[in-house]
Amino acid sequence: MEIIINDDHQVLAKIVVDSIEAMVRQKPDSVLGVATGSTPIPIYEELTRRVEAGLDLSQIRIFGLDEYVSLDENNAQSYAYFIRQHIIEPCKINPANVRLLSGVAEDLKAEAADFEAAIKAAGGVDLQILGVGHNGHIAFNEPTSSLASRTRRVSLTEKTIEANSRFYNSVDEVPRHAISQGIGTILEARHLVMLAYGEEKGYAVKEMIEGPVSAMMPASALQLHPHVSVLIDEGAAKTLQ
Ligand code: F6R
């Protein structure tokens, strides 16, 4: 596991985007897995600047990590909306090359199976961007998720619902379920890039890097992967040995 600690989030974003740019120059139709949430936003802003400066992402293929059940792509709280606003439109990505999970599919089991098949057909994810929840979730794999789990419908914990409520008028409006790539699915990406900022992520970061591998700490599964880059700031790194 490669661990990079820097308090400047722009510097960390540039490191990640350098990797993406090098990958795309070598393989223009690279497969990029994208996370939503506040942490990766500087990466998408930096990627947008590179596109404005001439980087061509027209052939890359994008896969999402997760989506709330019941929110469609036009709902501003949906992850599809976020990905369109922060990545697809500003980075001029061909919408035909984008496969996100649908939270409004009639048959979520079929949607999950189709999504897994689409990743396989694309040859797997080359680089997967990840964030971590306070409780150690990755994508929406909450504590107790099987480390071998595949894409499926999941229930969110009260902690996650509470953390997400900052984007809603009231906690009652926050969706209770999501459809999420499994931990087993995520571990099949060739390069995992995990970002975590702030002291409030300190516990999850410590357990992810130093703790035992456990279903109670989904992010600890990253210890099982041969190519992981963890980019954190001093706050998130404070609890590390
Ligand atoms: C989002 C996702 C989540 C977030 C995590 C951290 O697609 O999969 O696991 O990465 O909740 O979110 P932020 O970055 O908002 O702290």
For position 80, what pLDDT does the model report? 98
Starting from the edge strand earliest in sequence, which strands make up the sheet with 66-68, in order? 66-68, 177-180, 152-155
Is 36 touching ligand 1 by the criterion CB < 6 Å? yes
Look up the domain containing 91 and give its range. 2-237
Does residue 64 have its Cβ closer than 6 Å to ligand 1? Answer: no
CATH number of the domain bearing residue 15: 3.40.50.1360
Task: Give me the tens of pLDDT residue by residue for the chain, a chain 241 residues long.
Answer: 999 999 999 999 999 999 999 999 999 999 999 999 999 999 999 999 999 999 999 999 999 999 999 999 999 999 999 999 999 999 999 999 999 999 999 999 999 999 999 999 999 999 999 999 999 999 999 999 999 999 999 999 998 898 888 888 889 989 999 999 999 999 999 999 999 999 999 999 999 999 999 999 999 999 999 999 999 999 999 999 9
What are the angstrom distances between the C-alpha of 232 and each of 125, 140, 150, 199, 222? 23, 20, 27, 10, 15
- Which pLDDT score is estimated for 135? 93
- Active-site residues, by number, are 66, 135, 137, 142
What's the structural domain count of the chain? 1
CA of 164 to the centre of ligand 1 (A): 10
List alpha helices for the chain, DSSP H.
9-26, 41-52, 79-83, 108-121, 158-164, 183-186, 202-210, 234-237
Q: Are 129 and 16 in contact (CB under 8 A)?
A: yes
